[in-house]
Amino acid sequence: MSDILVIGGGGAGLCAAIAAKETGASVSVLGKTYPTRSQTSMAQGGINAALGNVGEDSIEAHIADTLRSAHTLGDENMIRRLCEKAPEAIGWLDSIGVPFSRLEGGRVAQRRLGGAGSERACYAQDYTGLKILHTLYDRALGMGVEFLDELFMLNFIVEEGRVLGVTAIDIGSGEVRAIGAKSVVVATGGYSGLYRGFTTNSSATTGDGVAAAVRAGCVLSDMEFVQFHPTALKRSGILISESARGAGGYLLNSRGERFIDELKPRDVVAKAIWEQIESGEDVYLDIRHLGEAFIEENLPQERKLAKLYEGVDPATDLIPIKPVAHYTMGGIEVDPNHMTKVKGLFAAGECANAYVHGANRLGGNSLLETVVFGREAGEGAALFAREYGSVSPASSAQFEKDRDFVAAIPQFTNQIDFYEKRDFMGKIFYRNVGIVRGEMGLKGVLAAIRQMQKELPFMGIADKSREFNTNLLEFIEFGNMVELAEIVLVSAIGRNESRGAHQREDFPAEDDEKFGGVHSLSWKEQGVLCNEFEGMR
Amino acid sequence: MIRIKIRRFHARREPQELVQEWEVKEGSTLLEALTSIKCEKDPTLTFRSGCRSSVCGSCAVRVNGKEVLACAYKPKEGDLVEPRRFAKVIKDLAVDESEAFKTLKSAKAWLGEPKEDAVVTPEDEKRTERQSDCILCSSCYSACPVLETNPAFLGPFALTRDWRYVADPREGDIKGKIDTIQQNGVWDCTLCGECTAVCPQGIDPKSDILMLRTKSTQMGHVDPNMGSFGSFGLDF
> Of residues A81, A266, A375, A422, which has the active-site annotation?
A266
Within 74-113 of A, beta carbons closer than 8 Å to B belong to 94-97, 99-106
Same-domain status, B111 and B194: yes
CATH of the domain at B172: 1.10.1060.10
* Domains of chain A and CATH, by start: 231-322 (3.90.700.10), 397-533 (1.20.58.100)
Residue B233 lies in a domain: no
- The ipTM (two decimal places) reads 0.96
Q: How many domains does chain B have?
A: 2
- B117 with B199, same domain: the answer is yes
Q: Is residue B231 part of a domain?
A: no
Helix (H, G, I), strand (E, B) or coil at A280: coil
H or E element: which one contains A150? none
Are B136 and A34 within 8 A, CB to CB? Answer: yes
Q: Are residues B119 and B78 in the same domain?
A: no
CA distance A7 to A153: 8
Shared domain for B72 and B104, answered yes or no, is no
Diameter of chain B by CA atoms? 68
Of residues A101, A138, A309, nearest to B109 (C-beta):
A138
Contact present, A95 and A371 (Cβ < 8 Å) = no
C-alpha–C-alpha distance, residues A296 and A324, integer Å: 25
Paired strand residues for B19: B7
The answer on B203 and B144 residing in a single domain is yes
Verify that B191 and B88 share a domain, yes or no: no
**Domain of residue B11, CATH code:** 3.10.20.30
Contact B61, B93 (CB under 8 A): yes
Q: Helices A208-216 and A470-494 sit at what angle, rounded to 10 degrees? A: 70
Residues B78 and B89 in one domain: yes
- Contact assignment for A37 to B108 by CB distance below 8 Å: no
Element (DSSP H or E) covering residue A214: helix A208-216
Contact B11 A467 (CB under 8 A): yes
Interface of A with B in 120-139 (CB under 8 A): 124-125, 127, 130-131, 134-135, 138-139
Note whether residue B185 is domain-resident. Answer: yes
**Active site (annotated) includes residue A266:** yes
Whether residue B105 sits in one domain with residue B59:
no
Q: Is residue B236 part of a domain?
A: no
**Residues 291 through 310 of chain A touching chain B, CB cutoff 8 Å:** 301, 304-305, 308-309
State which of B37, B64, B95 marks the end of a domain: B95
Q: Mean per-residue pLDDT for A367-395? A: 96
Q: Does B176 touch chain A (CB under 8 A)?
A: no
* Cβ–Cβ gap B122/A461 under 8 Å: no
| Contact with chain A for residue B113, Cβ under 8 A | no
- Pick the closest to residue A225 from A526, A528, A522 (CA basis): A522
Q: For residue A256, what are the contacts with CB-CB under 8 A and spacing of at least 6?
A: none
How would you class A529 by CB atoms within 10 Å of its CB: exposed for 0-12, middle for 13-18, buried for 19 or more? middle
Q: Are residues B202 and B126 in the same domain?
A: yes
Helix (H, G, I), strand (E, B) or coil at A110: strand
- Verify whether the Cβ–Cβ distance A124 to B44 is below 8 Å: no
Counting beta carbons within 10 angstroms of the beta carbon of residue A473, is it exposed (0 to 12), middle (13 to 18) or buried (19 or more)? buried
- Residue B231 phi/psi, 5-degree rounding, is -70, -30
Out of A89-98, A260-269, A435-444, which region has the weakest mean confidence (pLDDT)? A260-269
Asked whether residue B62 is domain-assigned, the answer is yes
Say whether both B73 and B151 belong to one domain: no
Average pLDDT of the segment spanning B150-157: 98
Residues A428-482: tens digit of each pLDDT: 999 999 999 999 999 999 999 999 999 999 999 999 999 999 999 999 999 999 9
Span B189-198, pLDDT tens digits: 999 999 999 9
Q: Chain B contact for A149, CB < 8 A?
A: yes
User: A204-256, pLDDT tens digit by residue?
Assistant: 999 999 999 999 999 999 999 999 999 999 999 999 988 888 889 999 999 99
B234 is a domain residue:
no
Residue A219: per-residue pLDDT: 98
Residue A239 at interface with chain B, using a CB cutoff of 8 Å: yes
The span from the CA of B188 to the CA of A110, in Å, is 41
Structural domain range at position B133: 98-226
Q: pLDDT per residue over B99-111, tens digit each?
A: 999 999 999 999 9
**Burial of residue A252 (number of CB atoms within 10 Å: 0-12, 13-18, 19+):** buried
| Among B residues 23-82, those touching chain A with beta carbons less than 8 Å apart | 29, 38-40, 42-44, 46-58, 72
Measured CA to CA, the distance from residue A155 to residue A210 in angstroms comes to 10
Together in a domain, B72 and B162: no
Residue A157 CA: distances (Å) to CA of A25, A114, A117, A162, A189: 21, 41, 45, 8, 20
Q: Which of B68, B95, B122 is the last residue of a domain?
A: B95
- Residue B198 domain-assigned (yes or no): yes
Residue A326 contacts B where some CB pair is shorter than 8 Å:
no
Q: Which amino acid is at A529?
A: L
Q: How sure is the predictor about A297, in pLDDT bands with cuts at 50, 70 and 90?
A: confident
CA distance A51 to A292: 30
Please report, as a single letter, which amino acid is at residue A14.
L
Q: Is residue B28 part of a domain?
A: yes
Q: In whole angstroms, what is the distance from residue B163 CA to residue B121 CA?
A: 17
Strand, coil or helix: what is A313? coil
**Residue B140: partners with Cβ closer than 8 Å, 6 or more residues away:** B67, B155, B156, B157, B160, B194, B195, B196, B198, B199, B203, B205
- Last residue of one domain, picked from the residues B44, B62, B95: B95
Residues of chain A in contact with residue B105, where contact means CB-CB under 8 angstroms, are 141
- Specify whether B68 is located in the same domain as B155: no
